[in-house]
Structure formats: C-alpha cells, structure tokens
Structure 1
Amino acid sequence: MTSITAKRLSVRTSHSIVALACLAACLPSTKAIAQSEGALPTLDTVEVVGRQQSGQYHAQDSEGATKTDTPLQEVPQAVRVVTRQLVDDLGAQRLDDVLDYVAGVSRQNNFGGMWDNVAMRGFVGHEDMGMSLLRNGMQSNRGFNAPRDTANVERFEFLKGTMGALYGNSEPGGTMNLVTKQPLWKAAHSLETYYGTYGSTRMALDTTGPLNGNASEPATMAYRLNVVKEEQDSFRNFVRIRREMIAPAFTWRLTPDTQLRYDGEFLRQRAPLDRGVLTVNRQVGAVPISRFFGEPSDGDITMQNQTHQFLLDHALSADWSLRAGLQYKRNTMKGLESEAFPFPGGACGSSVETMGWACRRQVSRDFGSQDTSLQLDLTGRFKTGSLEHTLLTGVEFNRFTLDQTMMTHAGGTRYGYGIDIYNPVYGNQPSAPLNVSAINRDVSDRTMAIYVQDQISLTPQWKLLAGVRHDRYRGAITERAVDGAPTTYQQPNATSPRLGLTWLATPQWSLYASAGKTFRAQAQTTYTGAAIPPERGTAYETGAKWQSADQQWGSTIALFDIRKRHMATWDEENEPYLVELPGKVRNRGLEVEVAGRIAAGWRVAMSYTYLNADPLITQFARNSVSAFVTHEMAAAKGGLVGIGGGFTHVGKRDADMDSTVHLPAYTVFKLTSYWNIDRQLRISLDVDNLFNKTYYHSAYNRMWVMPGAPRRITAGLQYKF
C-alpha cells in the first residue's frame, strides 16, 4: 500500500549525487583497462538453457520500450534491462531478488508474501494488485498473481517514466515488461537442483528443441518447457512455502512469413499469509523478527494462476509487419488467515503498548479473477522526403472481472481474539462464526483503445518519438455486502500523449528529453458509493546515455519530475473503501546506472537513486545505492570459475500514514560463486545477507512490518544434457 501522510519533508542536497554522477562520467576511462588486459581470454560462449556463462549485463534493445526494434541509445527515456546473465549471477529465483539492483525501483507491501508489489520513482499501482507489469508486452498484473518465478524469464525490462501512450492504464513512474524464454530450434536441456538454509529445496527443468524436421527438411515446430518444484521453511515461525510451476511454450512456422507462438504458465503457491511483525511504541525491533502473529492452525492461502498467450507475427513485406496477441488469465486466492489488526479506538487501539496484547481478526478469503486481452499492431517503415519513419498503429481490447469475498467476525468478538506479543500462545479460536462481510464485491471493466506512434529520423543524429493513445474505459462495481446497494458505474475516457527527442551526439553518447501522460482507473469506491476519478499523471524526463565502442557496457543518468492527481488511499475508518486525496503529488529525482562488461572477465551492475518524494507520500528512501561485481576466469584444470559480490543500501523511510513509524536505513551484502567444471556441469554457492543484518524492507502499517531474511546460504548443481 502507498502510505499517505501530511508531513513536511525537508530538501537536503546529497553528496552522493555528485559522487555517483562523477563516477558515471568517469567510467568510460576504464576502456583502457580492458585494452591493457587484452591478453586475457574473452569469454563469449553463449548458453541456451540453464544458467548462463560469460554473457552480458548490458542490453542494446528492449521489446517493451517502443514495441519496435529501436536501439536503446535512441529511446528518449531511461530503460534498464536486467539480463538473464545478471539474474543467474545473482542466483535470483524471484522478481524480488533483482529489484534492489535497479535504480528508481523499491519494494512495497507484498500482501504477506502473496504477490509482487514494486514502486517505480515513488509511485505504486493499485492498492491490491501492485505495479504496472507486462508479460511479453501485454497487461499481466490484474487479479491476484503469486510472486513471479524467474525460471521461464529471459529478462526483465524496467521502462522508466510514462508508458501510457503505448499501454494505457499504468503508472507515471514506470512499467515493467517481463519477457519469457522462447522455444529454440536446437535441442538443449538443463536440470538444476538447489538446497539451502531453512530446509529450502528447489528443482528446475528447462528443455527445448524442434518437434519435427530432419536433415533434408527444416523443422517448423519447436517447444520449450520449464518446470519448477520448490519447498522451503522460513525464518518466520510456522511459515512454509510450497510452489509448483509448469510453463510450456510452442512455436509454429506456419509459412516463411508467418509465425505463431503459444506461451503458457501454470503456477500454484501454498503458504500462510504472513503479515510480519508489529511495532511497540511506534518502534521496530521490540519483538523477534521470527515471531508469527497469525494462527498456525489456519493453514495455507492457496493461489493458483494460469496464463495463456497466443502471439502471431506476419511479415506483409520487407517494411511492414503485423502482430496479433491474445491473452487469457485466470487467478484464484483462497484460504483462512488470522492477523494482528490495528482497530481504531477503544482498549484495542493501545493494547500493544499498555498490555503487550495484540488484537487479531480471522478472515476467510475467496478471490477470483479472469482477464482477456486482444492486441493488434501494424508496424511499417517509410520515407517522406528526407524523413525516415517507423510507424506503429494498434488497437487493444480488454475484459476483466473480479470476484472478492472476505468474511470475518461480528462486532466486538474480534477484540477477544488476541495474542500476547511477548509470549504468544496459539490454538485459541474465536467464538463467533465468520458471518460478516469485510469485502463482498464484483468488479467488471472493459477497455477499448487505439494508439499511434511515429519514430521520425530527422537526421542521422536527431530522432523524434511522438505517440498518443485514447482509452475508453467502462467499469462497474457492485458491493454485495450492502443489501440493495446500487452498482457504481465508471465511464472515463483518457487520451495519453508521449513526446521525446534524442540527440546522438557521438557514436557513444546520446542526450534525450521526453514528456508524457498516464491514467489509471480506480477499481473501488468511497464509503458513500461514489466513484473516484482515474488517477492522472504527467512525467518529464531528461538524461544522457553512454555505451562503450564495443557495446559491452554502458551507463545512464536521468533526471525526472512527475506529478499526479486524484490519488486515493484507504479510508481507515471505513475499510475497505478508498478516500481521494486533494490536490497533486510531485516526485522528483535523479538516477544513475552502470551495467556491463567493463574488462575481460569483469561484469558490473551499479545504481544510485535520489528521490525527493512529495510530502504526501511515504515508504520511500531519499537515497538508495547498489553494486554487484562478478569476476570470471579460466580454471587451472579447465572450465570457468566465477566469484562475485555486492551490496544494497536503502535509506530511512516512513512506514505508516501518520509518519510516526520509521523503517531504519539498512545495508546488506551478498556473495556468489560458481565453477563451470565443463560445458555440462556447474556448481554454485550463494550467500545472501552475508553479515546477518536485521532489517525491515517494507510495511503496510504499524502492525504489519515485513522484516528481511537473515543470512541465507544456497548451494546449487546445474547439469546440461
């Protein structure tokens, strides 16, 4: 959740800004290092399955930034691509494991570990459904999605700034595009197994290859299959997570000019809904980070997600192409859960401080959603006089339905269902039945949109990007908990433009400026049943990009200024309704990122963020820094050996709406190592939170604060065949 408060922030100049900016500007000089070490072996082996070796951290393009094959140096916005190589070197198994190494991105409340929730440049998405997220360019975060697994992910694209002109309903801070692994036309297979702290076990299979064809006739069908099974206990008492994922993909070459791809994913997660720890006298650290304030006998919350994507690409000519995308998603979330709850007023409101007693409520959830999307894109290249155009036109249709039922207890019975925070005793059950609707609603919306984007090459050095999208949104919300309550209809229209200019000053340097607008429809109402206007954002950005002559590494410096109105947050007196905030909020900041292979065998990824968030917004640090370095070398008896390490630092943040609870700044370190014994066998060892730091990475309110994990060691074995 985005915590909102009326506090006043002071603006202070950070010396780190100057230091990081100078670092980025001076880094090109390390080209001399690479030249002086030219005798070292260059490790350019490309692996197709399993963990990568000798790849890059620096990408030259992005599928999601423009929907065209435009080099990132020409894109007038900051884009950070987390490559598969970096995912592998970090030992990342979840999206959360890579977030700390991307500038401008911060973790938010993840609903007790039930889904991903990420803020970009100080703006989060929907209160329940998280950030703006795409899967292969299609909206993919509506409903209830378990945390994303990395097993079937080729890369994560963090598209900073406004993307409303292409994707509509989104945040002005940015959008993330998840690109999945595609079938390959050469057979390759990988089996991985991991064992780690807290009894965690994980097995993963990645297999791909052609389904037909022979020496005389090329294959026309190929497959890819990723399978994951995982079980792990937690540093949190009574918390055990079980996950299974099956992700099949198929490619058909229907004709030499036409290709159809199916990309599916079936994921099930079973785990308790864990709200974390609580504060005492508004301070964290009063209770152990392992203490669980739920009820073990409640069992698991089960989340089941299925996604089906069909992507058709057809070349009309050498310059024109057509793409059609159809997606269907179905998500469910069911189970029983008890949670410490900050009920306002009465003895319960102060019982934690005065009696060491936390009030709890028990709730039963039965949530389900269905999401259907259709996209049609036409892309072409042509000239008008001396101007070269890359034109994209498209239409999109979305249909989304959401069914939420959450039952709890009546009146004061919830106050009696408490727990001693210092000496918890489990097994007590509330005397009253679950017969009161905390949430009981149907949400249905339809969106029709048309968009146009023109990328104009004014000269070889000057590139103009102009785009606009018009969305027609039709939504309906029915509160079934209130007898006779009328259905609330929302029918806003939105036009979202985007304009950007890039100057390719030299073959290695580019400067850019851009502006754009976004909107996000609100899927909830106020306590009185009134519809809340869509959130509307305006983003301005300017920056510089540099990449080495060999395109092995690069850096980006970006300045941004984002404004948003019609923001809404929880109405604490009338949960689960929203209340609109008056006026506008404004976030400004600076981002610096460096990524790539700076010398033979050396890969780096560094980021710095300075965020001057609006006084109405909390949960965001003023300064955040991260760095990760890997060195790879030939082993004495063959193969490759790699060792790396890094750190993330996040500054102090406010954790509650009243700005009375603060999450302390923290710095955590990690180490990674691996040995590619040969082209088939690899062993790895990862250590997270090396110095066993106690820290808290996010909060929802003063009763739901999520601590970070203590030191965690993971050993892995990967075999290609």
Structure 2
Amino acid sequence: MRNLSFFLLLAAGLLPDVGLAQPNFHNQHDRHLSAAGTIAGRVALADGQPADQVSIRVKGTERGTAPNADGSFQLKAPAGWQVLTVSSLGYAPQEATVEVKAGQTTTLPPLTLARGEQQLKEVTVTGAKSLNQRVVSVGKIPIAPLDNPQSTITIERAVLEQQQALRLSDVLANVAGVYVMGTTGGTQEEIASRGFAFTSANTFKNGVRFNNGIIPEVSSLERMEVLKGSAAILYGNVAAGGVLNLVTKKPLFERGGSVGLRVGSYGFVKPQFDVYGAVGSSNKVAFRLNGTYERGDSYRDGVKANRVYVNPSLLFRLTPKTELIIEGDYLRDNRTPDYGIGAIDYQIQDSRSRFLNVPDAANATNQTSATATLTSRLSEAWQVRAVGSFQRYDNALRSAARPSNIISTPGATYGNFTRGLQRTETTENYYLAQLDLTGNFHTGFLGHTLLVGADADQYDTNTLAYTNPASATKPATAVSTYDVINILDPSKVIAQPTERLAGFNGMVRNSLTKGNTRRAGFYAQDLLRLSDKVKVLAGLRWSYQETPSDVFNYNTIANVTAKTANTYVETRRYDNAFSPRLGLVYQPLKTTSLFASYANSFTPNTGLDLQGNTLAPSLIDQYEAGIKNELFNGALSANVTAYRIVNSNQAQSVLPTDPRFRTASTASPMELAGQVTSKGVEVDVQSRPVNGFSLIAGYSYNYTAYTKSNIYENGSRLRYNPAHTANASLYYSFANAFSNSTFLRGLNAGATVYYVGDRLAGRNSRGLNPATGLPWVDATTGQPIADAFKLIALPNYFLFDASLGYAYERFSVRVKMANLLNELSYNVHDDNSINPIAPRTFSATLGYKL
C-alpha cells in the first residue's frame, strides 16, 4: 500500500494538468464569459521589495490574480470598462480604470504601490501563493520557481503556527531531503541534505551567514527558505547539499501585535510577544519587536535549559524608492550538555533517560547580530541592494568528555566509563559586506534577468582550550581522571582513583587558537528568456579565501611533552576557485516546467601534498534534473527532482606502502584521489488552502557512498544520512463548514506524519590500517584481525503529531500532542553522542492579538 501511494503521488507530480491548470485564480470562469479580453501590466513596490503577496482584482467581480516574480501579470476580464484594484498588506491600494476589448490585450502603464499608514481592520485571507510562485530571497534574484532549474522550498509562518513549531527540526519535517543528522551534546541540531552537512557556512538568517553552533530560535520567523543543491555561485564556500535561510518578521506601519504563552510537558514554559507599527505618527519609520523567554526540564535525567531571545527591527523609508531595514538579534542560551546514553562495543544500550554527564556540566552561549539592508529601485528595470552585518558569538563549555572507551569485556567492570573533563571558551566576530545589482531588460529578442554582485566576509575566532593539571605526586604526569561510573547504572558505587581532577576550576590553560578567515567573491548570473517556453540560467563566480591560524601553546604537561611549550605555531593558506552554473528550463505549458542543470562547488582542504604544498580545494560536481507542476488551477504544486553529486577529488592520505610516501617532502602527505558520490530523488507537494484544507507532503531517497577510496570499501555508505524520508501534514479550518456560526468557525485541526528510514552511525570500517597501509593484524600474534571500527544501524521511526486549535475574536488556543506513538530512536554522532529522540509530549499555547 505504501508503494502504491508513493507511485500515485509520483504520477500526479509527473503528469501536467493540461485541462485544468491556468495561471490565474479564477480563469475557470472564462468559459462562461460571452465576451472577454485580457489586461496586462506590471506592479512594483515603491520600497524596492519584490511584488510578493500582491492582489490584483477586477472590482465588483470575483476575478483576480497575483503577479509573477518580476511583477508582471495577465488577467482575463469581461469586455467593457472595468476598474482594476491592486493591493497588498502594508501598502496603499491603487485603482486603475481600463477599457477591455473582446479578444484583445490591453496593457496598463506600470503601477507602483507606496507604503500605507491606515490601521488594519479584521481581515480574512482567502488566497496564498503556491510553492511554485514563491520566490526565495536567498536566491538574491527574483526568479520564479518555474523558471529556476533548481529545487526550492518555502515554509510560511502560517504553517509554523499551525504546527506549533518549537525547533528548527519541526520546520524541517516539512521539507523532503533535508534532515537532522545529529544532535551532538544536545546543544545543537546538525542539519544535512543530500548527504552533505549544513555547517555555519550553509545556514543563513535574512541572507547572512550565522553560527549554528546553538539551536536557533524559530518564534521570530516569517518563513524558512531552502535552496537545494549548489549555491556556490551565490555564496562561495558552501557545502554541496544546499543552503537554508531563516527570514525573520519585518516592521509594518500598521499597529498590531500579539502575546502568547506556551506550556508543556516536563515543566516547559515559554511566554512570547510581538509588537509592530509606525514610530509615533511617522509615515517614514516603522518598527517591530518580538521576543521570548523559555525554560524547561527534560525527559533526560539531570538536563535543563533556559533561553532569552529578542529580535528588534526598524524600517526607514528614505525616499519613495529607497528603503533601509536595520535588524538585531540577541540570544542567550544556557543548557546542560548531554552526550546521551552511551554504547558498549558499538551496541546502543537502550534508554531514554540515562544521563552520563557530571552534575555541574553547563553550556552557555550568547549570540548577538546586527544587519542593515539598503534597497533602492533605480528604475522600473534596475535595483541595487547593499547589506552590512556583524555577528558576535560567545560560548563557554564545561562538560565531561564524551562517553567512549567503555569497558566491553564481560565481568565486574563491564560498562565502566572513566570520566575526564573538557573545558573550552570560544569567541567569534563575523563581518559581512555585500552588494548586488539586479536588472530586468531585453537585448533584441532575448529577455534578461541579471544579477551582478560582490561580497566579502571575515571570521575572527579565538578558542581557549583547557587541559588536565600536573599531578602533585608525579610532576611529569597529568591528572586525567575525574571519576569512574558504570553507564548501565550511573548510581553504582565504584572505587575512585586516589588522585583525581578537582573539577573544572582545577583545569589549566592548554592552547589559544586564533583564526582569521577572510573571503571575497565576484559573481554574475543571467536568466536568458529565449522564448516563453525556453530559458537558460548561466553564471560564474570567482572566490578567494585566506585562512590564517595562530596557536599559542601554554606551558602544560601535554605541551612540554610535545616540546611546544610557550610557542606560537602559525599556519596560513590561500585558496581560490571558479564556480560555474548552467541550467536549461523548458515549459511546454505555463504550468509545467522541465529543467536540468549543472553546477560545481568547492571545499577547502587542510594538510600538505606530496611536494609539501598546501592541498588544493576539492571541486564537487552537481547534476540536477526534474519537473515542476502547478495542478488544479494552481491549487496543488507537485515537483520531482533527481540529482547526482560527485566529489571526484576528495582528500585522502597517501598510505605508507605507496612508493611515493618515502620520497614525500612531508611526514603525512595527502592527495586528491578519493571519491564520494551522492544520488537520489525528491518529491515535494504543497497545496493552497482549498475548502479549508491545506496539504504539505514529500518523499526523499538518498544514497551517499565512497565510490573510490584507498581505505574504505567502495560502495560503503556514509554515516548519518537516512536512505528514505517521508512527510505529510494535513490542516483543516472549519471556517467554511461553520460559516454561519460565529462561535464554531474558529475551529481548526491538523496532523503531521514524519518518517525517517534506515541510517548508519558509528565509524566506517577500514580495509587497511592507515598507519601502515597494510591489512589489520594483532600486535601480539601477528594474526589477521578485523578493524576495530564498526557501524551502528539506527532504528527507523515514524513521528505522528496531532493538534487542535480554536480562535475567537482576539483570543486563540491550540493544543498539540507530539510523537503520539511514543517512538524510540536516536540521533548519533560516531558512537559517543547517542541522544534519544523525545517521547510523547503535550503542549498548549494561548494567544491574544493586540
């Protein structure tokens, strides 16, 4: 039955809707018009923002449409004199009188909407853009998704509110092929797509990179955007799987806001607020301020957390065509670091609550950012956008070391874990400057949507690491043990060493590492419209990266032994790379798009080659093809994408048995000779609200494996990446069913199902010993043995959530039950951070609109 459902869904996505699909909301009525014509035109917003969420209607009728990404529109209307109404939330509406002639197209002069100051009355939203009409701002250029040879996904705020999204993982459950690959230490959600990790280089907030070392706050989000596949042409050094952009709420001139309180299982409490409006009676300056406080315990013994978040922003209308937005962000997050339940010889010891850290473990993070975005519309065709941003990140970690080297020999000591301590303090300053020029114009028969830009950013990072102090009785030896526990029974009394660590304050400074990564890039991209049916997207970026790193080693036992006491160690490398992009789009119908594309990205490498030179970056080729469909008059979007990503020059060590090893000028030579391949298929389905129903669904298949390696077996899968994921979310509003009942029309309900298929953790076994380049043998007997590394197969699981909500006038309440089936599985890093997923939990949110 599951296979049948999937193939029916796939067929729906692949078959264009020839008879029903039309580009406008109400074209199904065309057949009833005795005489009709077409109104064409273009809408622009005076502040330079894309013409998103603009409504164009024929006054006195139900006929209307929404503009394309470039603001252009066409609308069928009855013959005769008609009044066209153009409106958008936060802008003053306009009306235009036009004579419609039967069988002809009437073109209006360009229409520009200015910001409005009127107070909003209660409104009912009756339409929304479909998946294939939402332009992602992280793409830097207003390309309609049907014209873009790349998979893009947007999850709007309405979905976040319906699903009561608390963490980014809740939002990602709506996106096929983007998943949480781990939750190391319980302090972050590590995200990946198509077999590649989203590091801080791949995660953005309002188009600016942000440090994802801590769980981001989602209560401030207006929407989440995902640009799958390569984004190297736009952002330079990013991993191959795609990029994620969190777009926060923006200022409005209308006064309004909301307050709310969320409570839930394990003592969870989260009050939040959101206020906005004009500053005083100004029509030039508007503000928005939202924030939250959160505290709660956990299903994990001894784990607790609290956080404070504030997101202020100001909008300055400098001229009718120029706008400046200044946005701030402050997050203070304190939580217990939690490396999970432990494993013995790569076997997970099932538990949901077992806690293995020390009682005073703490992870404290402060993250502050400020971003200024200046947008100016130079003309109807050209726009310039400048961004400047600063981010500060501070983290202090005090924790027991990860649970590793646990005794696996049967007997009285089975499961014993000798705990050490780790302590680090990290500070990071990040600076960004970016300038983009976009234009929409023609050269002869060719239409162009052009992007030309440059960016530069810099990371200043200081990491202070602590280590173990010298022994009082053996000065040349460090004290490394804090205590000994048994992971199967942490309360079990075990004899402790006579000399042990006094705690975190007894640790001593070991090293101070200073990093100062500088990057710059220049890029150009053009969407060429050869005809209404054929488009080509082509572009090129040149990127430069400088990575100096200075390490100061303090006079500790570890550094004296290594003969590096009180010394500086400096490394410096320079990398540059070209990142091309080429894509072809064919649209046999206005509602169907076939596409294929090629792009590459690069990953800088560490280490030295055989000649002692710094290793060049690895270049990763990415191929993508698919189909995008608008079905049932735009009510349903169904997209299917297939991809292949090949890192054919992955860095790997030259083995000691290689003849070149003996003549190498470096002790541990590296070379670009490995290969990793990722391939898969993704299906994304989204609907508009239809008769109260809205649907989001998806499916992904991925296989990421070593396809050429001198150590790992060819064809062996890389860890952490699920072979299959599937998601479905159905929401229903009873407003239509109870349209005559003021009391019952505020009722709504929703259900979400998320499936994660088979994954691997642990460590990939190696066919050869990398230290010798020979098969593994027992050091004592010389007999062949297997590699000590093993993989861990993680359980598949279904998450089923259900919610029920009610809104009456300004009040609303929503209750949610998450993981109704109480499924148990794990997010695992290697074999030493094994974190169980949350059990069945309950939450309720009470809200009030100001």
Q: Does the alignment pair 1:712 with 2:841?
A: yes
Q: CA deviation at 1:716?
A: 0.7
Q: CA deviation at 1:262?
A: 0.3
Q: CA deviation at 1:321?
A: 1.3
Q: CA deviation at 1:540?
A: 0.4
Q: CA deviation at 1:84?
A: 1.1
The equivalent residue for 2:627 is 544
Q: Greater shift after overlay, 593-602 or 220-229? A: 593-602
* Number of aligned residues: 682
Q: Does the alignment pair 1:655 with 2:761?
A: yes
The equivalent residue for 2:108 is none
Alignment of 1:106-117 (within 5 A): 106-117=179-190
**1:80 counterpart letter in structure 2:** I
State the secondary structure of the residue aligned to 1:96.
helix
Q: Does the alignment pair 1:105 with 2:178?
A: yes
Q: Of 292, 296, 314, which residue of structure 1 is paired with 2:359?
A: 296
Q: Greater shift after overlay, 604-613 or 357-366? A: 357-366
State the secondary structure of the residue aligned to 2:266.
helix
Question: Contact 1:352–1:358 at 8 Å: present in 2 too?
Answer: no
Paired with 1:125 and 1:351, the residues of 2 have a C-alpha distance of 40
Q: CA deviation at 1:260?
A: 0.7
Q: CA deviation at 1:146?
A: 2.1
Question: Contact 1:538–1:562 at 8 Å: present in 2 too?
Answer: yes
The equivalent residue for 2:261 is 193
Alignment of 1:364-513 (within 5 A): 364-409=423-468, 413-415=479-481, 417-425=483-491, 431-432=500-501, 435=507, 440-481=512-553, 482-483=564-565, 484-513=567-596
The equivalent residue for 1:671 is 802
Q: CA deviation at 1:549?
A: 5.6
Q: CA deviation at 1:63?
A: 3.2
Paired with 1:200 and 1:62, the residues of 2 have a C-alpha distance of 36
The equivalent residue for 1:94 is 167
Q: Does the alignment pair 1:701 with 2:830?
A: yes
Q: Of 337, 357, 362, which residue of structure 1 is paired with 2:421?
A: 362
| Deviations, residues 184-207 of structure 1 (Å, cap 9, x unaligned) | 111111001011000100011111
| Deviations, residues 530-549 of structure 1 (Å, cap 9, x unaligned) | 85543431110000001136
**1:259 counterpart letter in structure 2:** E
Paired with 2:173 and 2:580, the residues of 1 have a C-alpha distance of 31
Q: Of 139, 150, 161, which residue of structure 1 is paired with 2:209?
A: 139
Q: 1:592 to 1:51 in 2, by over 3 A?
A: farther
Q: Does the alignment pair 1:84 with 2:157?
A: yes
State the secondary structure of the residue aligned to 2:360.
helix
| Deviations, residues 116-166 of structure 1 (Å, cap 9, x unaligned) | 32101111144xx4x61122222223xx64211112111111101101011
State the secondary structure of the residue aligned to 1:73.
helix
Q: 1:710 to 1:453 in 2, by over 3 A?
A: same
Question: Contact 1:31–1:599 at 8 Å: present in 2 too?
Answer: no
Q: Greater shift after overlay, 578-587 or 384-393? A: 578-587
Alignment of 1:22-421 (within 5 A): 22-25=11-14, 58-59=130-131, 60-64=133-137, 66-126=139-199, 129=200, 132-141=202-211, 145-213=213-281, 219-284=283-348, 286-298=349-361, 300-343=362-405, 355-409=414-468, 413-415=479-481, 417-421=483-487
The equivalent residue for 2:678 is 587
Q: 1:304 to 1:55 in 2, by over 3 A?
A: farther
Question: Contact 1:328–1:371 at 8 Å: present in 2 too?
Answer: yes
Question: Contact 1:57–1:603 at 8 Å: present in 2 too?
Answer: no
Paired with 1:622 and 1:235, the residues of 2 have a C-alpha distance of 28
Q: Which runs of 5+ in 1 are unaligned?
A: 1-12, 571-576
Paired with 1:500 and 1:595, the residues of 2 have a C-alpha distance of 24
Question: Contact 1:508–1:549 at 8 Å: present in 2 too?
Answer: no
Q: CA deviation at 1:172?
A: 1.4
The equivalent residue for 1:514 is 597
Question: Contact 2:146–2:593 at 8 Å: present in 1 too?
Answer: yes
| Deviations, residues 290-335 of structure 1 (Å, cap 9, x unaligned) | 111101123x211000010000011212211111000100001013
Paired with 1:338 and 1:569, the residues of 2 have a C-alpha distance of 32
> CA RMSD for the aligned pairs?
3.5
Paired with 2:651 and 2:343, the residues of 1 have a C-alpha distance of 25
Q: CA deviation at 1:115?
A: 2.7
Q: CA deviation at 1:445?
A: 1.1
Paired with 2:615 and 2:419, the residues of 1 have a C-alpha distance of 31
Q: CA deviation at 1:441?
A: 1.5
Q: CA deviation at 1:28?
A: 5.9
Aligned sequence identity (%): 26
State the secondary structure of the residue aligned to 2:234.
helix
State the secondary structure of the residue aligned to 2:799.
strand
State the secondary structure of the residue aligned to 1:98.
helix
Paired with 1:665 and 1:46, the residues of 2 have a C-alpha distance of 45
Question: Contact 2:130–2:636 at 8 Å: present in 1 too?
Answer: yes
State the secondary structure of the residue aligned to 1:183.
coil
Q: Does the alignment pair 1:688 with 2:818?
A: yes
Q: 1:109 to 1:467 in 2, by over 3 A?
A: same
Q: CA deviation at 1:437?
A: 6.2
Paired with 1:644 and 1:438, the residues of 2 have a C-alpha distance of 53
Q: CA deviation at 1:485?
A: 5.0
State the secondary structure of the residue aligned to 1:599.
coil
Q: CA deviation at 1:551?
A: 3.2
**2:725 counterpart letter in structure 1:** S
Paired with 1:381 and 1:54, the residues of 2 have a C-alpha distance of 31
Q: 1:267 to 1:46 in 2, by over 3 A?
A: farther
| Deviations, residues 167-190 of structure 1 (Å, cap 9, x unaligned) | 111011111111111101111110
**1:21 counterpart letter in structure 2:** L
| Deviations, residues 633-656 of structure 1 (Å, cap 9, x unaligned) | 124443421111121111111111
Paired with 2:512 and 2:649, the residues of 1 have a C-alpha distance of 25
Q: 1:204 to 1:313 in 2, by over 3 A?
A: same
